[in-house]
Structure formats: structure tokens, C-alpha cells
């Protein structure tokens, strides 16, 4: 798919998600998520137009929307059940995410401007925090559809991890399609979770952990 076409398709997809979100929640729309969607329109345009030229701005916008994602999800962390969080599978998952982030940074450092290194590290930290919050919501299992936010998080990690590799190290059109698909899927799933999940509608499962 030509990048010129993507410049027009990308904002249409994001606006469609925005309309779907507003039509679902109506007056209860979270202004932070609307801001995120507007930021993503700008981010997508810059990334498609010239990823390398606007890499610093793209990285900063990515940091900003990950922070806003984390703030939006914070209210879904009802209680921190350490009993559910600490397990071998969780430790392995954290190490895997950390290794993926480290590997991507190590791979692209020689291809990016030196002054953007700090931005990349900041973005990596924001991504790790967002992943930790999403995983906590999933593992706490206080809601019926926590798997949705986990899927959104995985798609976000894939998108952010593969994008710089595809642009700086090895460009492939198939990767571009996969990146965009995972990107739009992550946004849609995030929207679906926050629009269908009321933070107050928690499952009554606390008694099992006293």
C-alpha cells in the first residue's frame, strides 16, 4: 500500500473509532481519550509522511499518549492483589517485555540521531509502565473483559517495537501492514474496554484473597 494513500486512510480510521466511542458513551466520554485520538492522528501523519525526519516528535507524542493511556487505566486498578501478581509466568512476561524493549533500543541506537536517545529511553519507560498497568488490570481480574485491555497492550507493544525496526533497519511492506493493523487494533480494543467497562462494576471476588 502506497504511503500517500495511508496519509488519507489513517485519519479516517482514527476518526471512525472516535465517532464509535462518542456514540457509545455519549456524555460520559473521557476527554483524555479524545485528546489521545487527536494526538494519534498527528502521530500517524508524521510517521507515514517521514518517520526518520520527525522521529523525535513521534517519540515524544508516543510518550504522551502512553502516559495518558496509563492515567485513563489507573482508575481500573481497584486493589493490588500481590498474590495474583507474583508468579513465575508474570516474572517471565516482565522479563520478556523488558528484553524486547532493550533489543529494539540496542538495534536502532546506531541509526537514530544521538540527541533522540533520551527520548527513546523515556518512551521505553512509558511503554513499560503502560504494560505493567495493563497487566495488573488483567491479573487482578476485577472485570469480565480484562483480556481486551491485555490484547490492546500486546498490540501496542508490537506496533511500537516493530515500527522503528521497519523504518530504520529493514523496511518491508508486509511489516508496514502488520504494524498499521496492530496499531489500529490496539486503539480500537482500548476504546472498547474503556467504553464498555465501568470502573465501579467490579466483580465481588475479594473474599477469596483475605
Measured distance CA(126)–CA(67) in Å, rounded: 6
Which of 48, 43, 73, 44 is CA-nearest to residue 61? 43
What is the 8-class DSSP label of residue 204?
Answer: S
Number of H helices, E strands in the chain: 8, 0
Confidence class for position 64, pLDDT limits 50, 70, 90: very high
The per-residue b/e assignment along 136-167, b for 16 or more CB within 10 angstroms, e otherwise, is: bbbbbebbeebebbbbbbbbbbbbbbbbbbbb
Q: How high is the pLDDT of residue 24?
A: 93
Read off the pTM: 0.86
Of residues 91, 93, 83, 104, the one with CA closest to residue 159: 104
CA Rg, the chain, in Å? 18
Please report which confidence band the pLDDT of residue 61 belongs to, taking 50, 70 and 90 as the band edges: very high
CB atoms within 10 A of CB 17: 19
Angle between helices 31-50 and 173-196 (to 10 degrees): 180
State residue 23's pLDDT score: 94
Q: Over the chain, what is the mean pLDDT?
A: 85
Assess contact for 82 and 136: CB atoms under 8 A: no
What pLDDT does 210 receive?
38
The DSSP code sequence of 116-169 is GHHHHHHHHHHHHHHHHHHHHHHHHT-STTHHHHHHHHHHHHHHHHHHHIIIII
| Residues 178-201 pLDDT 10s | 999 999 999 999 999 999 998 877
**Is the pLDDT score of 176 beyond 90?**
no
Given a cut of 90, whether residue 208 has pLDDT beyond it is no
Amino acid at each position: 500500500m502506497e504511503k500517500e494513500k495511508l496519509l488519507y486512510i489513517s485519519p479516517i480510521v482514527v476518526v471512525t473509532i472516535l465517532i464509535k466511542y462518542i456514540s457509545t458513551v455519549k456524555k460520559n466520554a473521557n476527554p483524555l481519550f479524545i485528546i489521545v485520538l487527536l494526538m494519534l492522528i498527528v502521530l500517524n501523519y508524521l510517521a507515514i509522511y517521514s518517520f526518520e525526519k520527525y522521529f523525535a516528535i513521534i517519540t515524544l507524542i508516543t510518550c504522551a499518549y502512553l502516559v495518558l493511556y496509563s492515567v485513563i487505566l489507573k482508575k481500573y486498578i481497584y486493589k493490588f492483589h500481590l498474590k495474583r501478581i507474583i508468579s513465575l509466568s508474570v516474572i517471565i512476561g516482565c522479563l520478556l517485555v523488558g528484553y524486547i524493549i532493550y533489543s529494539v533500543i540496542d538495534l536502532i541506537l546506531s541509526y537514530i540521531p544521538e540527541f533522540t536517545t533520551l527520548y527513546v529511553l523515556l518512551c521505553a519507560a512509558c511503554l513499560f509502565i503502560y504494560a505493567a498497568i495493563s497487566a495488573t488490570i488483567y491479573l487482578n481480574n476485577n472485570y469480565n473483559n480484562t483480556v481486551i485491555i491485555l490484547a490492546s497492550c500486546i498490540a501496542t507493544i508490537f506496533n511500537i517495537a516493530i515500527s522503528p525496526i521497519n523504518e530504520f533497519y529493514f523496511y518491508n511492506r508486509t511489516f508496514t501492514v502488520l504494524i498499521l493493523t496492530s496499531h489500529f487494533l490496539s486503539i480500537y480494543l482500548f476504546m472498547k474496554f474503556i467504553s464498555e467497562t465501568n470502573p465501579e462494576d467490579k466483580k465481588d471476588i475479594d473474599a477469596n484473597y483475605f
